[in-house]
Amino acid sequence: MDLRTVLLIVLAAITALTLVFYQYFYKNPRKGSLKIVLAALRFITLFCAFLLLINPKFIDRDYFLEKANLIVLVDDSSSMLEAQSETPVQQVVDQLKANVELNERFSIHQYAFGTNLQATDSLQFNKNNTDISNALSTAHEIFVNGTNAVVLISDGNQTLGRDYEFINLGANLSVNPVVVGDTTAYEDISVGLVNTNTYAFLRNQFPVEATILYRGSRPVSKTVSIFLDGNRVHQQRVNFDASKNSQTLNTLIEAKSVGVKTLKIEVEALENEKNQFNNSKETAIEVIDEKTNVVIVSDILHPDIGALKKSIEANEQRSVSIVKPTTAITVAEDADILILYQPNRNFRGIYDYVTTSGKSIFTITGAKTDWNFLNRVQQSFVKENINQSEDILPVLNNTFGVFGLGNFNVDNFPPLKGNLGGINLQKSGEILLFQQIKGVDLDQPLFAVLAEGKQREAVLFGENIWRWRAQTYRNTQNFSNFDELMGNLMVYLGSSEQRSRLELDFELVYDNASMARIRASYFDESYQFDSSANITIAIQGKNNDFNRESPMLLKGNFYEVDLSDLEAGAYQFTVTVEGENLKRSSTFKILDFNPEKQLISSNYDKLQRLAGKTSGKLYYPDRLDELINDLSTSQRYLPVQKSRQNVVSLIDFRILLGLIILALALEWFIRKYNGLI
């Protein structure tokens, strides 16, 4: 308590005495003990009131020792089961935690890690991934202040995350690895990185790239085989020696059937190879049949038909067949897109089918078109029937935005042959090309795309489009610009699905269950994300050996379910929005791949470099006493004496208020009893 506060307290006592003296003693003839009692009560009241105003305080200092933190990080992955041999990891941890000298010097904290860091006293050794960098970074974020020591008990083999050798942990954290496992470098051959596409098209070839790794010094020659759903589809010989320790294979595999296919790359084992878990690796690819079937219906022979067929089939995923209108009904049912070339009365059956099925069509008219029939049989456009043909030049609409035009332009394009007459488009759409006749630009469509509901249409009011393809070749020495336009048109006509209010985000194949997640996004009728929906997922094994239904949890702007507890296998699932007639179904596959079994030798070299970078030291389980001695005697981790300063009130204000109330009450009662009021 400072001098100023003491002086204020003395002044308060003097002031209270002065006021009491003038109230009870100055020019007061009354004598006796009653006056003294009343004066004492009034003094207590005034003095306590002044103390409340002064609020005297004093400083209380609390001295304590702050220990350094000893952070024990234990690798809890499945590879540690094989790595610990003579000295169990749990015994190492217990010995560190029970050591008296370490407990006097440190505050000991134990964590286990696989993919994530967890504070726990029990070790299961069942994690399927090891992320050492995440464990070290998280420990550094938790223990920011002071000097901290980390004892990292691991085999040093990381299967996930950043390279822990190059993370920056700061100067206040030193890492002391305890290497668990066999440090002998065995001769080994393995399958490394495998690259392939997620999807492949039916009856197409897809690329496969695989890296084969060799660890050894003698020359070896082994066979690498590639299996697709258990059938060998490729085989190749690879050669290694001390200077050549890797080789990349590139091959093409044919997709012969639709579905999710298991792709397995396997390398022949070495003689007496200790670890053969890494001699094979599996992935998967989905083969889909996305081939677009286009049918050209024509009652006449014309060069346009051949040009359209070549242009559309420039993409191998599209096939074109040519039929007569009288035989087209059965063929049209299997078609994705119909091209109706210069329709006449023989097309009545085709138009009846289009009306009932809503199939997308591309109509091309010309000099042989029966306009009286065409105006009656369809409701997309109407053309004035003037039986006079004319050359029509194209004028590109630069604001066209229904689909991309690529590098397509109409520079120096020859005219098409078409009939004169006004055109009225009766469905909503957009014009790609306008007409120009004899140098006059007309506000009339030459090429337009239309849409109503799910049905999409395109119409070209002119024949001899083969000349445009030929002119494209003259301009660019290839047909790509014209063929790209036709390709984009086919994509537009073939895409008739509306946007779904329930969207799913998932992988068709997961390397292991720890990465299995399914996400869903649900939108209301105005296509705004709905965060109040109840969404459930029902999962079933392909062999009906597993069934489960669970809710999907809201996480930000999506719903998610964690499937990390599933075993390897094929599954099908259905996501349902409760209260809405919305559900989506699909399939996924979890591969039986454990990255922890790919390496059997501990990576002590890398742990040694980590220790050197963080001013730590490498140890082995049989040298645990040396680790304990180094930590307990190091001058770097000495406890630091610190003080905590607490400002405390001299007298509790509740006591002062109680004294004031008590003194006033007694004074009033005594005065009342003696008739002084």
Higher pLDDT, 401 or 531: 531
In total, the chain counts a number of residues equal to 677
Confidence category of residue 664, pLDDT binned at 50, 70, 90: confident
Contact indicator for 21, 42 with CB cutoff of 8 Å? no
Contact indicator for 213, 165 with CB cutoff of 8 Å? no
The total domain count for the chain is 5
Identify the residue whose tokens are 């749990």: 90
Residue 297 sits in the same domain as residue 280: no
Burial category of 180 from C-beta neighbours within 10 Å (exposed 0-12, middle 13-18, buried 19 and up): buried
Contact indicator for 201, 289 with CB cutoff of 8 Å? yes
> Quick check: is 621 in a domain?
yes
| Other residues' Cβ atoms within 10 Å of the Cβ of residue 137 | 18
Give the separation between CA 433 and CA 400, rounded to whole angstroms: 9
The pLDDT, as a whole number, for residue 283 is: 84
Confidence category of residue 238, pLDDT binned at 50, 70, 90: very high
Percent pLDDT > 90 in the chain is 35
Residue 608 sits in the same domain as residue 584: no
Residue 377 sits in the same domain as residue 453: yes
Give the separation between CA 643 and CA 59, rounded to whole angstroms: 12
Domain housing 658: 3-61+647-673
Residue 45 sits in the same domain as residue 99: no
Strand stretches in 499-628, DSSP E = 502-505, 509-510, 517-522, 535-541, 547-551, 553-555, 558-562, 569-577, 582-590
Overall average pLDDT of the 25-51 stretch: 80
CATH number at residue 268: 2.60.40.10
Using the 3D structure, point to which of 456, 473, 494 is the last residue of a domain: 494
Residue 164 sits in the same domain as residue 207: no
What SS3 class is residue 86?
Answer: coil
> Quick check: is 145 in a domain?
yes
- Whether the per-residue pLDDT at 102 is higher than 60: the answer is yes
What type of residue is 626? E
pTM value surpassing 0.75: no
Contact indicator for 154, 170 with CB cutoff of 8 Å? no
If we measure between CA atoms, which residue out of 221, 174, 36 comes closest to residue 617? Answer: 174
Q: What is the DSSP letter of 450?
A: E
The 10s digit of each residue's pLDDT in 326-382 is 876 778 878 889 999 999 999 998 998 888 888 889 999 998 999 999 999 998 999
Higher pLDDT, 385 or 464: 464
Contact indicator for 382, 426 with CB cutoff of 8 Å? yes
Confidence category of residue 530, pLDDT binned at 50, 70, 90: confident
CATH number at residue 305: 3.40.50.880
> Quick check: is 595 in a domain?
no
> Quick check: is 596 in a domain?
no
Residue 307 sits in the same domain as residue 424: yes
Backbone angles phi, psi at 511, to 5 degrees: -60, -40
**CA torsion through residues 94, 98, 101, 105, sign:** positive
The 10s digit of each residue's pLDDT in 468-498 is 999 999 888 889 889 988 988 888 888 765 5
If we measure between CA atoms, which residue out of 452, 436, 272 comes closest to residue 361? Answer: 452
> Quick check: is 659 in a domain?
yes
What type of residue is 494? G
Residue 108 sits in the same domain as residue 166: yes
The pLDDT, as a whole number, for residue 593 is: 73
The pLDDT, as a whole number, for residue 304 is: 94
| Other residues' Cβ atoms within 10 Å of the Cβ of residue 450 | 22
CATH number at residue 583: 2.60.40.1930
Contact indicator for 585, 571 with CB cutoff of 8 Å? no
The 10s digit of each residue's pLDDT in 446-462 is 999 998 877 889 999 99
Give the separation between CA 263 and CA 208, rounded to whole angstroms: 9
Give the separation between CA 524 and CA 502, rounded to whole angstroms: 9
Residue 209 sits in the same domain as residue 332: no
Using the 3D structure, point to which of 448, 472, 494 is the last residue of a domain: 494
Integer-rounded Cα Rg, in Å, for the chain is 43
Higher pLDDT, 617 or 389: 617
Confidence category of residue 465, pLDDT binned at 50, 70, 90: very high
The pLDDT, as a whole number, for residue 328 is: 65
Q: List, in order, residues 6 or more apart from 504 with CB less than 8 Å away.
A: 518, 519, 520, 575, 584, 586
- Whether the per-residue pLDDT at 254 is higher than 70: the answer is yes
Contact indicator for 135, 55 with CB cutoff of 8 Å? no
Give the separation between CA 118 and CA 111, rounded to whole angstroms: 5
Confidence category of residue 640, pLDDT binned at 50, 70, 90: confident
Using the 3D structure, point to which of 249, 264, 286 is the last residue of a domain: 286
Confidence category of residue 310, pLDDT binned at 50, 70, 90: very high
Residue 397 sits in the same domain as residue 434: yes
Q: List, in order, residues 6 or more apart from 522 with CB less than 8 Å away.
A: 501, 502, 503, 529, 530, 533, 535, 559, 577, 582
The 10s digit of each residue's pLDDT in 144-182 is 887 889 999 998 888 888 899 888 888 888 999 999 887
Q: What is the DSSP letter of 621?
A: G
Confidence category of residue 526, pLDDT binned at 50, 70, 90: low
Contact indicator for 361, 377 with CB cutoff of 8 Å? no
What SS3 class is residue 5?
Answer: helix
If we measure between CA atoms, which residue out of 91, 165, 83, 168 comes closest to residue 132? Answer: 165
Overall average pLDDT of the 651-658 stretch: 82
> Quick check: is 345 in a domain?
yes
> Quick check: is 425 in a domain?
yes
**Mean pLDDT, all residues of the chain:** 86
Overall average pLDDT of the 24-30 stretch: 71
Residue 56 sits in the same domain as residue 73: no
Residue 519 sits in the same domain as residue 413: no
Confidence category of residue 389, pLDDT binned at 50, 70, 90: confident
- Whether the per-residue pLDDT at 595 is higher than 80: the answer is no
> Quick check: is 488 in a domain?
yes
Percent pLDDT > 70 in the chain is 96
| Other residues' Cβ atoms within 10 Å of the Cβ of residue 176 | 22
The pLDDT, as a whole number, for residue 499 is: 56
Residue 380 sits in the same domain as residue 437: yes
What SS3 class is residue 403?
Answer: coil
